[in-house]
A and B are shown apart, each in its own frame.
Chain A
Amino acid sequence: MNLAALRAQLSYQTLLLGSVVLLTSGALAVASRATDADIQAAAARDLQASLAQVLPGQYENDLLKDTVLIGAPDGAVTVYRARRAGKVEAVVFQTAARGYAGPVVCIMGVARDGQLLGVRVLKHTETPGLGDKIEPAKDPWIHAFEGKSLGAPPADKWAVKKDGGVFDQFAGATITPRAVVRAVKGGLELFAREKPRMLGELKEGQS
């Protein structure tokens, strides 16, 4: 039987579709196995790099292995702890707020005295060319947070200038920087509330 006649048969078509799906799923399974370790490693490297960005200086421990889960208003937050001489000197954790087109996810480093060491935006879906100035590759705006803390500037100045605060907004985009400021402020408030647990210095009898 020649190929043309075979192609017209229902059993051949069923078999063909089945084999194509089987072969492609097999290829995907093999590729997934082959790439999985490298993808995990790349993700860990990315995380390490973003931790290092908001945490200047040298610390003695592997941050990825020294974590604690803290309950926050919208879900648990993983806190990475950086130690010197066994003592937690700084913590890094994620914080988020609603932006113009979806959540703006930030990572922030906080020293044990509550001062901000650095903030970076990990993920956002803001308008390209307007809201994306929160990325340090496009605008130095995000560095304005370094050295700030809950008391300085005072709580009512933790806002963009349009709202009477100290942080710049962008031409044509106020909602995005507003969201970042809100996320960072929320993160600092979480740190103030959960400081003993984040630093691992919870005294006996406290919950």
Chain B
Amino acid sequence: MTYARIAKDGLWDNNVVFAQMLALCPTLAVTGSATNGLGMGLATTAVLLASNVLISAVRHLVSDEVRIPVYIVLIATLVTLVDMSLNAWAHELYKVLGLFIALIVVNCAILGRAESFASKSPVLASAADGLMMGLGFTAALVAIGGVREILGSGTLFANAHLLLGQGFAFLELTLIPEYRGYLLMILPPGGFLVVGFLLAGKRLLDRRLAARQAAASLSLAPNP
């Protein structure tokens, strides 16, 4: 499997949220705003990268019969280590990301990648897969969070400086001034609605692309 294929899989074709439909629980829980989506996405990417590398490194030692408990123990340990180190040595960041880190443990996408990719692939490819799956997840969360935030509160990336530092305060936009807010979009049902519409949009786009490709290859085909 080439790196280009891995990247395309993670970012689009096999996207964690929009193709695998995994990790919906943390997705719906944190995507009330684009900033929260970004924070959850980045924290998940870091853990996914580390867990893929670790599991790929020990893949020859692990028996099929006990692989699931071994992976779960490794992932849970990794998340706890990240949680403790951030709390001790990057406390400001921890205060923003702390909530998300605990949620990563329940993210089945991480176990999913360990099972379907890292346990069968070399370390470097697994690292690339973890990174790309993580970035695809981050992009999906930011997209969902962005739509919900714009419709729900009329802003985009509000409070980004709490997550990224004062240098990123320029990201914070008020798109609809004096907006009274559309509560449904902020609440979990709004998350389901936005995920559904974005999913339908992606399917539509994929179908259009496939149709165009089919038409192109048809016109290129030599006449019999």
Chain A residues with a Cβ under 8 A of chain B: 3, 7-8, 12-13, 16-17, 20-21, 24, 27-28, 31-32, 34-36, 38-39, 42, 45-46, 127-130, 137-138, 171-172
Residue of A whose beta carbon sits closest to that of B95: A46
Residues of B within 8 A of A130 (CB): 181, 183, 186
Q: Judging by beta carbons under 8 Å apart, are B36 and A128 in contact?
A: yes
In the complex, A28→B74 CA distance in Å? 11
Q: Judging by beta carbons under 8 Å apart, are B63 and A16 in contact?
A: yes
Q: Is B218 an interface residue (CB 8 A)?
A: no
Chain B residues with a Cβ under 8 A of chain A: 32-33, 36, 60-66, 69-70, 73-74, 77, 80-81, 84-85, 87-89, 91, 95, 149, 152-153, 158-159, 162, 180-181, 183, 186-187
Identify whether the interface residues of A are mostly helix, strand, loop, or mixed: helix
CB distance from B37 to the nearest CB of A (A): 11
In the complex, A171→B182 CA distance in Å? 10
User: What are some 23 contacts across the A-B interface (CB < 8 A)?
Assistant: A3-B61, A7-B63, A12-B63, A16-B70, A20-B74, A21-B73, A24-B74, A28-B81, A31-B85, A34-B88, A35-B88, A35-B89, A38-B89, A39-B87, A42-B88, A42-B91, A45-B91, A127-B32, A127-B186, A137-B159, A171-B180, A172-B180, A172-B181
Identify whether the interface residues of B are mostly helix, strand, loop, or mixed: helix
In the complex, A27→B183 CA distance in Å? 45
Residues of B within 8 A of A31 (CB): 80-81, 84-85
In the complex, A24→B63 CA distance in Å? 18
CB distance from B154 to the nearest CB of A (A): 10
In the complex, A20→B162 CA distance in Å? 37
Known: A17-B69, A128-B36. 17 other contacts (CB 8 A): A7-B61, A13-B63, A16-B63, A24-B74, A28-B77, A34-B88, A35-B88, A38-B88, A39-B84, A42-B91, A46-B95, A127-B186, A128-B32, A130-B181, A130-B183, A171-B180, A171-B181
Residue of B whose beta carbon sits closest to that of A10: B65
Known: A16-B63, A137-B162, A171-B180. A129 touches B87 (CB 8 A): no
Within 8 Å by CB of A28, from B32, B65, B80, B159, lies B80
Q: Judging by beta carbons under 8 Å apart, are A129 and B81 in contact?
A: no
In the complex, A35→B90 CA distance in Å? 11
CB distance from B221 to the nearest CB of A (A): 47
Greatest chain B CB density within 10 A among A20, A32, A45 is at A20
In the complex, A91→B74 CA distance in Å? 47
